[in-house]
Amino acid sequence: MGNPLTVSTSPSFWLDSIGPLDARRPALPGDRDADVAIVGGGYTGLWTAYYLAKSDPSLRIVVLEAEFCGFGASGRNGGWASGLFPVSEAKLARRHGAEAAAAMHTALGDAVDEVGRAAAAEGIDCDYAKGGTISLVRSPAQLRRARDADGFLDAAQARAVCDAHGVLGGIYSEHCAALHPAKLVRGLAETVERLGVTVHEGTRALRIGRGTVTTGHGTVRAGTVVRALEGYTAGLAGHRRSLAPVYSLMVATEPLPASFWDRVGLARRETFTDERRMVIYGQRTADDRLAFGGRGAPYHYGSRVRPEFDRVPAVFEALRRTIGELFGVEPPIAARWGGPLGIPRDWMPSVGLRDGVAWAGGYVGDGVAAANLAGRTLADLIRGTESDLTTLPWVNHRSRRWEPEPARWLGINAGLRATALLDAWDRRTVA
């Protein structure tokens, strides 16, 4: 999979493993007109462009990306195309009714399959493997919370999937596939260009409004403007408090021997986590590495996003220790990286269109499949097509804005600290 990343040479192991770009796509050469202007060259923007171009080849679609396609979360994530949603079905049912809540979760599960179907149809080899996902139960407190969950496994059943230390049970869902994020996003970018979409890289949007996107290279005038910036949304004028950029960091090991995988399992490349509150996530890559990540890095004052925030040695060390706690090994670490994800104030992702401006995001780290669903939904909304997707409860949802600073910094970091303390308490409790 290429030369291993040495922390500072690339935004992620995934991007490094497929080699450098031959060249960036040309920047916007000046003012131009379009039918649809999409700001952001990640999964959300590219899936939107893909489904629009497939449904109506006559549309003039322009994608504007500040760096290169896949620079952000789409090229750095854990490689889970999952049916997970940050708002539980029960909570959605209280807000929108049981039928709408069930439809939302069904649509996300279907999106896992659609990612694989579309990738195969377009010849995008992204190491897609739908083995499902398991959340391991590793403390008595976690076991008490998990016993009544759908998909609950006893200790023996859970260990048969992933034999980590101290497993008391697990929760399994079929609605997840492991994949190589950068292969998917780079393949999508190439695919939409083949379909006639124009992609401009090195073109940072400074402001978006009804019918216009202002950049340092010119202005794009379009019937519909799509905001698809996720963790980088706060850098857009007028959106400092729309989504909070919170960092998630990852490590990747060198390829591990067959003896390790014979003991641990993950034979179908199931993704894995556990029931702690401070999220961890991992996958067995197609070349038998562990790609493993977690939250815990601080939120930075003023919603700042900077390259140096991608690297927090204390978090990388905590991830290495956690691998050891789970699997009893200290494997050589080939790569360390990180990046921001977008969190709305109510943790409710949304997709919508209003007054010529469309948006999607706020996936809270579960955006690989959700972005595909968002892209299909935006394509329907933009074309004025009523469908089952356009009636889902996240459509045209508006989260309230985050508090001004310093309340935002204090609140988010206090929440991170409280989450870590609750996990520590769980580890100390007895059955």
Strand order in the sheet with 280-284: 152-154, 169-173, 133-137, 271-274, 280-284, 290-294, 244-253, 333-343
pLDDT category of residue 145 using cuts at 50, 70 and 90: very high
Mean pLDDT of 134-156: 95
Tokens of 345: 């104030």
Which uninterrupted H or E stretch holds 54?
Answer: helix 43-55
Q: What is the pLDDT of residue 429?
A: 56
Q: Give CA–CA dist 339/306, Å, rounded.
A: 9
The predicted-structure confidence for 69-120, as pLDDT tens digits, reads as follows 999 999 999 999 999 999 999 999 999 999 999 999 999 999 999 999 999 9
At residue 381, the pLDDT reads 98
Helix (H) / strand (E) element for 81: namely strand 80-82
Element (H, E) at 16: helix 13-17
Contact 205, 213 (CB under 8 A): yes
Name the pLDDT band for 431 (thresholds 50, 70, 90): very low
Query: What pLDDT was estimated at residue 419?
Result: 87
Q: How far apart are CA 335 and CA 71, in angstroms?
A: 17
pLDDT for 3 equals 35
Question: Which pLDDT value is given to residue 428?
Answer: 67
**How high is the mean pLDDT of the chain?**
94
Cα 153 vs. chain centroid, distance in angstroms?
26
Query: How would residue 397 be classed by pLDDT, with cut points 50, 70 and 90?
Result: very high
Average pLDDT over residues 366-387: 98
Q: Could you give the CA distance from residue 364 to residue 243 in angstroms, rounded to a whole number?
A: 10
Contact 282, 290 (CB under 8 A): yes
How far is residue 361's CA from residue 341's CA, in Å, rounded to a whole number? 10
pLDDT for the residue numbered 185: 98
Helix ranges, 212-341 (H): 258-264, 313-327
Contact 349, 361 (CB under 8 A): yes
* Residue 2 scores a pLDDT above 60: no
- Residue 194: pLDDT over 80: yes
Q: Residue 305, Cα to own-chain centre: how many angstroms? A: 17
The pLDDT value recorded for residue 69 is 97
Q: Are 296 and 416 in contact (CB under 8 A)?
A: yes
Domains in the chain with CATH codes: 11-128+179-243+345-400 (3.50.50.60), 133-173+244-343+407-431 (3.30.9.10)
Q: What percentage of the chain carries pLDDT values higher than 90?
A: 92
Measured between alpha carbons, how far is 246 from 298 in angstroms, rounded to an integer?
Answer: 7
120-140 average pLDDT score:
97
